Each structure stands twice: as C-alpha cells, then as structure tokens.
Amino acid sequence: MPTEVMIHPFTFGDMSQKDLLGGKGANLAEMVRIGLPVPPGFTITTHACRQYLQTGLIPATLHGEIDGALTDLERISGKKFGGVDNPLLVSVRSGAKFSMPGMMETVLNVGMTPEVTQSLASSSGNPHFAWDSYRRFIEMFGKIVCEIPPVEFHKIQERITSSSGVEDIADLSLDALILLCDGFKKVITLTTGEDFPEDPREHLIRSVEAVFKSWNSERAQMYRKRERIPSDIGTAVNIQSMVFGNLSDDSGTGVAFTRNPSTGDIGRYGDYLQKAQGEDVVAGIRTPMSLDEFGRLAPVVAAELDAVMQLLEEHYEDLCDIEFTIERGKLWILQTRVGKRTAEAAFRIALQFVDEGKITMDEALRRTSGDQLAMLMFPQFDTSGPLHEIARGIAASPGAAVGEAVFDSKRAFDLSKSGKKIILVRRETSPDDLVGMVASQGILTSRGGKTSHAAVVARGMGKTAVCGTDSISVDERANLFTVGTTTVYEGDVISIDGTTGAVYLGDVPVVASSVTSYLEGRLSAESDEAAPVVKAVDRILMHADAVRRLRVRTNADTPEDAIRARILGAEGVGLCRTEHMFLGPRRSYVERLVLAENEDVQRSVIAEMEPLQRADFVGIMMAMSGLPVTIRLLDPPLHEFLPSLVVLSTEMARAEALNEEVSPRDRALFAAVNRLHESNPMLGLRGVRLGILIPELYKMQVRALVHAFLEVKKLGHDPQPEIMIPLVATQRELLFLRETLEEEIGKIFKGSGIAYEIPIGTMIETPRAAITADRLGVHTDFFSFGTNDLTQLTWAFSRDDVESTFLPRYLDLELLPFNPFESLDEAGVGILLRTAVDLARGLRSDFKLGICGEHGGDPRSIHFFNSLGLDYVSCSPFRVPIARLESGRASVKD
C-alpha cells in the first residue's frame, strides 16, 4: 500500500481542500491558482499532525518529504536553505481547517544563523535589519520551541534598552542589537542546559514539532471548546519563503479587511506598520497607520493592494481578512481567509452582498446566526471609560445590568417596587427566588453554571446573569460578599456583564440595543431612527420566516410573557408551566393543600385555587387569540412549594434545645415535609403520578381552563387551548388520566351549549415513553418532547448537581464535547427522539410533534429538530426571534 503524501506545494489544491491542507494552506493554494503574488512554499498536511498527536513523534517519512520540498523550494527561489551566499529563510505557521486566530504558534526567520546574518547584513547593505531578524528568530525559537516564559526575554530586553537610553528595540544601535541576540541565546542555554542550536534543519524540524504541539495548548483547547471545533482534526503547517517588511523604509507589513469587520461599513479597513514584521502588528508594540495613511505614503503599492482586496472579495464573495508584506516596494500576500466579524457586521455585510447581486437571500441567511442575533438583542456596557473589574464568572445569560447588590429575594422585590434597580446576589437560586429574580435587573451567583436554575430562568426572562463566580464569597446572613480584599455590602452598586462574565464595582454606563427596540415593536425598521443593522436584521428575519418550516412557539407562564412573546413573533404557547402560577405569594395555597387534614379541607383549598388559575388562563389565551396554547398540568413534586427539610429540622432541633414552644402549624408543616420527603424527588411523586394520587388537583386545572376558554370565547376571541400531561411512562396511566380529564371537560361543555374538543397530549421526557411512543400515541393527540428531563434520565445526570461537581472536569478532559443541557446530545438523546418520531408518524403521518425543553431555543439543536421533521419548537420569549432565524437557516441548509 503506497504511503500517504504528507507535503504539497502551494501550487497544489484549492480552497475546497481545507480538511487536508488546513484553512491557511487551502487559501494559499487558491491565491496561487488565481495568480496573486504569494511567496512560494509548501504545506504539511493535517494527516501528519494527527500522526504526531497519536505517537508523540514526527512521522518517519516526513523528514524525507521535508528535504524534498526544501529542494524544490530552493530551485524555485534560487536560494539555499542554510546557505550563506544567498540564504533561503522560511516561516513556519499553523493552519487548521477552522480559523483559530492567535491560538497556535508561528516561528519566523527560520534558517538564520550567525553566518547567514552576516551575509544578509552585507547583501542588504542594512546590518541593523539582519541582526533584528536574527534577534526575532532567537526570541521566537526560545519562547515557542524551547517553551521559555516570555518574561525571561523581556528582562534582557529592558536591561539593554535601558542602558542604551532608548525605549524601543528599533532604536537600539547595531552593537546593542548584537548584544541583545547574545543575551537571548544565554537565556536559552541557562534555561535548557544546552547550547543554542545553529543547524537550520534542526531549527525547522523543531519548529514544525512546536506547531504540532500547539494544537493542544491550553488556549487552543479553550478556543476549540468555545467554538465547538473537533479536537481530533489537527492542524496543517505552512512553510513559506520569508519576505521582509523590516528590510527598509519602503518595506512594511499589515493586515487589511475588505470591509469594516466591526461595523460592516463599506471601505478598506486595516493597519500598516512601516519597517516591521507581522508579529509587530499583532503585538501592538508600535502604533500602526491606517490604510488611508498608507495610501498617501505609498500610493502605487496601495493601489495594488486595493486591487487585490477587490479581487479576493469578489472571488470569495465575502469579507476577506488579508495579511500582506511589502519588501522594498513589492507587495506580497501572505495569507487570506474569510474574516471574523461582529454580529452587527455579519448582518450588514450579508445584506450588502445581496444588494450588490453577489449572493442570494438564502446565502445571506446562512451567513448570519441566532447567536449573533442574541448578541445584538442584549444591552451592552460602554467600556470606553475606566472600569473596576473585581471578578469574573460564567457568562450565563447575555446582557448588561447595573444595580444595588441585594442578597434576599423578598427584599429585592420590595426595593424594586420603590423604584430601585437591583442586582440579586445569591450563592445559588431556587424557585423561591423567582419573585426577586423577576424584580432584579440581573442575577449574580457564586455557584452554578450555564444551565443552573439562575441561568435557565434568567435566559427565559431575558435577564442578565453571571453564575459560578467562585472567586466571590457570598454571606447571605451578613448581606455582603467578598472577593480578595474587596467587600461589597448590600446597597453598593455593581455592574454585571452576562456576555463576558465580568463583574464590576460601580455603575458602568449601558448602551441600549436598537435591535431589541425593533423586535419589540418600539422602533420601525423603516424609520429614519433605525440603524443600518436594524434594517439588515429586519430583512433577514423576514426571509427566515418566509422559508422556515418549523413553527416557533413560546414558553409562557403569565399573560405578560405571552404578550411579549407574540410581539417577538411567537406562533403560540408550547409550554405553560402551571406550577409557576403558585410560586411567590400564592405558594401558601399549596402549603395549605399539603396540610389539609381531610379530603373536604383539601377540596376547599383546591376550590380557592381554581379562580386564580382561571384568571391566568384567560389572560394567556387572550394574548394568544387565534394561536394554540399548551397548558402543562402541575408537574413538580409538592415539596418544592414547601420549606426545606434541612431548614425545618434545624429549627425544630434548636427549639427543642432551647426549650422553646413550637406552634401546631410548624409541627404540622414539619410532619408534612417529612412525609413528602423523597431521596430523589425528581424521580418520585410528580407529574402524572401526582394527578393520579390527587385527581382533584388536575380536575381543578382543566375546569379552570375550560371556564377560561368559554370566557375568552364570549369576549369574541379565538382561544385554542391544548392540555399536556407531564412525565407519562405507560399507556395505562395515560389512558386512566385522559378518561378522568375528558369526563371533567365534558361536564362543563355540556352545560355551556358549546361543542369543542380540546386536544390532550403528553410530554415525552422518559426514555420508556420515547421507545413506546407508538403505544402512547394511540391515546394522545400530540407529543411534546421535554428534553431537559429526557437528558437527565438518559445520562443519569442531575442537572442541578453535575455542573457544580464533575461536568466542568469532563468538559476540560474532553470526555464530553459539550454540555448536553445546552445543546441536545444527538448521538444519545437524539436517537430516542428519532425513535419516538418514527413510531408516532407510523401511527399518523400528521402526528403533531414539538419541543418544549430548554433546547428549543438553542441554535444548534434547532437544526437537528428540523431534520427530524418536528412541527414546532418552543422557547422562552426572548429567544423567539433567535429560534425564528435558526429555523430559517435550518431550512436553507437542509
């Protein structure tokens, strides 16, 4: 079997071969193919890197291939690698399939030796340039190949610049520069215990190995996790002939964008640094000039660069990021790629290309994303002024929030009513904190992660949240938190950034989002006040609505949520969590229900609850008139509405120890909590089981719903309620409860003179329900997948616990590619969904299927749901526009 070739010259391939050549190598090959001035070179394939990562050794055949490729490069360039008279110098750069800017390593000027340096000094007539190039190589080799901390080189540099009376290396005398090179070599020798190598081929091989290693550097791994880049694809390595921007006054280096990647404005954008190499631009050690200034400095070369920029943009039909070097007045293009851009620029540039006739609206939709739209919807801090950052946690729910730190939910609610802006600070939140969370501008917790209670609820409400800020110590009794030497007391103003996870002391100015104003109907896209990005979002979102197949509903528990969601484009309610209606001040009803001494008292309490439910249902169905509203019957275990057993046990023990009297109510409450206590309540008495054991509870809910339906109908609206039974696992319990509910519904409709059939469906949130969906489907009108619980039960994960224990470590070790509560696990949970879909559609081809878990608003998961042929997704109101956009993208991608 022939050995796979691991090296290809830049004359091989094109931009379609990123899997083999990496993004940089594929684009270099493409630029050579279209005739641009690219310094010659060759690419070591990603296959070679993967072999190295598996064995820890440079593949045996690669050494010979490098020798052969160098010989070809010497022939093309007329120079000799390691030669003194006409030396060939090369750069060694990383280049993965997916752009990872700055995450891996580069070594420049490989091939430099003292003899080569002397030769370059003579041939160029510029000794300073030659020794500066050698200094750069020694420093990069030391930091990247020998892994010596940069501070060691900075010490030598500061000592020599200080003794020379200058601030910048560029101002050193030739003798001082030579002294600096010697100093750098001594650092390497002292640190490694070996003399600095002088063999150019050893320099090259070790530089290639360093680039391979950098694939698994800490920052590269972190970037891959954030961007969901696979960890096993490896990087290519590009070996390219050096051209020198630090050679003379008519030499330099720069980075150019064909449009402004920050704002999307049309026109050239970038930086140029005279008499410098590429690393100087990135490092920011000198202030570059703009491309407009460069145009005045060197109009002929600038015109050439403009022509190249135009050619590349037209060729790639996208914003291009270009690195270039000018050597003695000649322009060289070192690399190009489709440029990274802000969310605003993404929408604006996509529409510009449509209007210029270069791409279709479908392609513009593909080039934008729900994540980008989310970034545009949240307010942001104005970071141009001074900031006092005191901590950084997990960016759990984007946005910018400013307010007084408050450590109690009830107090947060009261202070908010008085007009104060509040940041609720807790170790972690629970359902009891909902009233304070609603009243607050944002939530800060010292525990939890992106799918903790605080994070999930905050995202659902469009609230800013920073969670898992483990550097702060929250003392809820003393109403303060400490971080380092700083103490923040209740009433102190703090600012939290849910996009970055930063926590600031003091009031940071906030910049409002015009995109949110447009989406909420407070700003017309046609008005003069509408920013260009608003007009772009409007056109792309309208196109997404026109092409998408998936409908988008919302999770709404209050009329206010429903109204907001409808304004944001929701096409109904996919999940109304009725238990949320009994949190806060209403929780006393559930407490009285649990403490009821007999069934008569229990029925009396339930009768008091019914008008409250009815009023809520009326408001939601009026807000969603003409659209479906799915009411999920009570789901959580009753203990969630009661005080903690641990707290009550502590209070009872304290009272006993102090010989204090305990009231009959407290004794009864303690006994009830003890009675209801379960080792694993999420797998206990909840959902359908609660409805079977306390049938009057579910009967009350459907009575309230039917009466609300009749009231809304009488007012001239078009209510379309649906009833959903939670946590069903068997067809018998489903049939039993369905018959009970239908009987109750029938009684009310019979007396009203109105005939209407309310659909009754079930949630699929247990693995058993998914694999027996054909049996359940016989007795139900629709399925809605509760992917939160389905993920918990499939993985045997407790969502509330795993994020604060082992899940972060699993993600660090790449034992999990992503958090399965953030994006759906297609390989596991996804198979259960696909099985249930196939079984249900086997019964009826038009069987209605939807998603109502947290994944319904996740852009990546939406594409999978679309591929399954589901009818709708349901998500929090704030994420409705995001789901609309991603559903459209899923349609044009599929």
Q: What is the pLDDT of residues 517-533, one digit of tens each?
A: 888 888 888 888 788 88
Cβ atoms of 69 and 42 within 8 Å: the answer is yes
Determine the Cα–Cα distance for residues 105 and 110; give it in Å rounded to an integer: 13
pLDDT, residue 2, reads: 55
Cβ atoms of 475 and 488 within 8 Å: the answer is no
Determine the Cα–Cα distance for residues 108 and 330; give it in Å rounded to an integer: 19
- pTM of the model as a whole: 0.81
pLDDT, residue 450, reads: 63
pLDDT, residue 774, reads: 97
Q: Nearest Cα to 235, choosing from 103, 410, 57?
A: 103
Q: Which residue has the higher pLDDT, 613 or 639?
A: 613
Cβ atoms of 648 and 663 within 8 Å: the answer is no
Residue 451 pLDDT exceeds 60:
no
Residue 478 pLDDT exceeds 70:
yes
Which has the minimum average pLDDT: 64-73, 266-275, 591-600? 591-600
Strands annotated E in 415-542 = 422-426, 442-445, 464-467, 473-475, 480-483, 486-489, 493-497, 502-505, 510-511
Which has the minimum average pLDDT: 141-155, 158-172, 180-194, 795-809? 795-809
State the average pLDDT over residues 180-194: 96
State the average pLDDT over residues 764-769: 96
* SS3 letters across 255-281: EEEEECCCCCCEEEEEEEEECCCHHHH
Taking only the tens place, the pLDDT of each residue in 866-890 is: 999 999 999 999 999 999 999 999 9
Q: Is 57 helix (H, G, I), strand (E, B) or coil?
A: coil
pLDDT, residue 524, reads: 87
| Cβ atoms within 10 Å, residue 185 | 17
Mean pLDDT (the chain) is 91
Q: Tell me the pLDDT band of 460, cut-offs 50, 70 and 90.
A: low
Q: Which residues pair with 332 in a beta bridge?
A: 325
Residue 815 pLDDT exceeds 80:
yes
Q: What is the percent of the chain where pLDDT is above 70?
A: 97
Tell me the two tokens of residue 123.
Answer: 């041939």
Q: Which residues pair with 106 in a beta bridge?
A: 93
Determine the Cα–Cα distance for residues 722 and 727; give it in Å rounded to an integer: 16
Tell me the two tokens of residue 534.
Answer: 């608003």
DSSP-derived letter for residue 487 is E
pLDDT, residue 20, reads: 96
Handedness of CA 358, 364, 367, 373 (dihedral sign): positive
State the average pLDDT over residues 807-821: 86
Helices (H), 637-725: 645-657, 664-676, 688-693, 695-714
Q: Which residues pair with 404 in a beta bridge?
A: 422, 493
State the average pLDDT over residues 809-823: 87
CA angle 863, 864, 867 (to 5 degrees): 90
State the average pLDDT over residues 826-847: 97
What DSSP element (H or E) covers 254?
strand 252-259
Cβ atoms of 497 and 466 within 8 Å: the answer is yes
Determine the Cα–Cα distance for residues 734 and 769; give it in Å rounded to an integer: 11
Side-chain-side CA neighbours of 461 within 13 Å: the count stands at 21
pLDDT, residue 824, reads: 95
Residue 612 pLDDT exceeds 80:
yes
Active site residue ranges: 453, 852
Which has the minimum average pLDDT: 97-106, 466-475, 562-571, 843-852? 97-106
pLDDT, residue 776, reads: 97
Alpha-carbon Rg of the chain, whole angstroms? 33
pLDDT, residue 379, reads: 77
State the average pLDDT over residues 581-587: 74
Handedness of CA 833, 834, 839, 841 (dihedral sign): positive
Q: Is 736 helix (H, G, I), strand (E, B) or coil?
A: helix
Whole-angstrom distance between the N-terminal and C-terminal Cα of the chain?
38
pLDDT, residue 600, reads: 86
Q: Tell me the pLDDT band of 848, cut-offs 50, 70 and 90.
A: very high
Which are the contacts of 845, defined by CB distance < 8 A and separation ≥ 6? none
pLDDT, residue 181, reads: 96
pLDDT, residue 603, reads: 87
Taking only the tens place, the pLDDT of each residue in 302-359 is: 999 999 999 999 999 999 999 999 999 999 999 999 988 888 889 999 999 999 999 9
CA distances, 699 to each of 20, 574, 621, 685, 702 (Å): 63, 21, 19, 18, 5
State the average pLDDT over residues 225-249: 91
Cβ atoms of 184 and 160 within 8 Å: the answer is no
Q: Tell me the pLDDT band of 731, cut-offs 50, 70 and 90.
A: very high
pLDDT, residue 894, reads: 65
Handedness of CA 820, 825, 829, 833 (dihedral sign): positive
State the average pLDDT over residues 485-494: 96
Residue 162 pLDDT exceeds 70:
yes
Residue 23 pLDDT exceeds 50:
yes
Residue 234 pLDDT exceeds 60:
yes
Q: Nearest Cα to 142, choosing from 101, 107, 100?
A: 107
pLDDT, residue 449, reads: 67
Which are the contacts of 119, defined by CB distance < 8 A and separation ≥ 6? 84, 85, 87
DSSP-derived letter for residue 144 is I
Residue 162, Cβ density class (10 Å: 0-12 exposed, 13-18 middle, ≥19 buried) = exposed
Q: Tell me the pLDDT band of 284, cut-offs 50, 70 and 90.
A: very low
pLDDT, residue 811, reads: 83
pLDDT, residue 732, reads: 95
pLDDT, residue 845, reads: 96
pLDDT, residue 375, reads: 83
Taking only the tens place, the pLDDT of each residue in 240-251 is: 999 999 899 999
Which has the minimum average pLDDT: 83-87, 205-209, 283-287, 730-734? 283-287
Tell me the two tokens of residue 751.
Answer: 């007396």
DSSP 562-594: HHHHHHTT--SEEEEEGGGGGSGGGHHHHHHHH
Residue 383, Cβ density class (10 Å: 0-12 exposed, 13-18 middle, ≥19 buried) = middle
> Most confidently modeled of 222-236, 692-706, 772-786, 795-809?
772-786
Q: Is 96 helix (H, G, I), strand (E, B) or coil?
A: strand
Tell me the two tokens of residue 732.
Answer: 């018998």
Residue 285 pLDDT exceeds 60:
no
Residue 1 pLDDT exceeds 50:
no
pLDDT, residue 568, reads: 95
Cβ atoms of 409 and 584 within 8 Å: the answer is no
Q: Nearest Cα to 203, choosing from 327, 79, 89?
A: 89
